[in-house]
Amino acid sequence: MGIKERKAREKKQLRQQILSAARELFVNEGYENVSMRKIASKIEYSPTTIYLYFKDKADLLDSVCKETLLNLLNTLEQLKRDINDPVEALRKSGKAYVEFGLEYPQDYKLTFVIRPQFQKGLGLQEGSVGEKVFDYLRAMVSECIRQQIFRQVDVETTGQVMWSAVHGVTLLLIDFPDFPWTEKDKLIDTVINTTIEGLKA
């Protein structure tokens, strides 16, 4: 490996180290209580070094959330490639969405709960990773309508209904782990299946 390649790898590793430290501090101490200096101290670098990679704290939060959404999108797109039946793809994607949130609860809450409190919206600007996640959902709903599996429903509204269902159960399971929930998989499957069945032609 040449000097140029090694430096590029080291820069990539340091950027990831900064993101990981910021993610942990944002969750454990609250976004508003974390400074760039505190993040720098955690990884034992100067604040100046962090500013070489990120414009400010808001840029750091945005980058952490983009990384989470990209991981989610990759998970969903893999499912879509492996399943031909659009209803089954929608069902399994809903389940994968909830499981992703439960596996990475800190990342999920940063992206869908904490970030909107400090930055306008959910990061769904045109061309963003967030928009691509929603486009994935819209595409599956549209295919179910095209194949006349679903009624002629409004795609945007239906997509938001599906997201509301899976987001709701994800956040409830994260925030209230001590609630006497029924068996977890049964609860998740019932939420998703009930929503889908209500849309069928």
pLDDT digit string, tens, across residues 103-128: 999 889 888 888 877 766 665 666 78
In which domain, by residue range, is 105 found?
59-197
Q: Of 117, 118, 135, which is closest to residue 126 (Cα–Cα)?
A: 135
Residues 98, 193: one domain? yes
Higher pLDDT, 30 or 4: 30
Count of structural domains within the chain: 2
Percentage of residues in the chain having pLDDT higher than 90: 53
Q: Where residue 1 falls among pLDDT bands split at 50, 70, 90?
A: low
Q: Where residue 36 falls among pLDDT bands split at 50, 70, 90?
A: very high
Residues 49, 142: one domain? no
Q: Residue 27 carries which side chain, given as an amino acid letter?
A: V
Tell me the β-bridge partners of 200. Answer: 150
With a cut of 60, say whether residue 64 has pLDDT above it.
yes
With a cut of 90, say whether residue 3 has pLDDT above it.
no
Q: Which of 54, 79, 95 is the last residue of a domain?
A: 54
pLDDT digit string, tens, across residues 76-111: 888 777 677 889 989 999 999 999 999 999 889 888
Q: What are the structure tokens assigned to 99, written together?
A: 């499981």
Higher pLDDT, 3 or 102: 102
121 φψ region: left (φ > 0), alpha (ψ -120 to 50), beta (else): left
Residues 27, 67: one domain? no
Mean pLDDT, to the nearest integer, of 129-153?
88
pLDDT digit string, tens, across residues 149-165: 888 888 999 989 999 99
Higher pLDDT, 11 or 79: 11
Q: What are the structure tokens assigned to 75, written together?
A: 């998970």
Q: Of 65, 15, 13, 7, which is closest to residue 39 (Cα–Cα)?
A: 15
CATH number at residue 164: 1.10.357.10
CATH number at residue 27: 1.10.10.60
Average pLDDT, the chain: 89
Decide if 101 contacts 108 (C-beta within 8 A).
yes
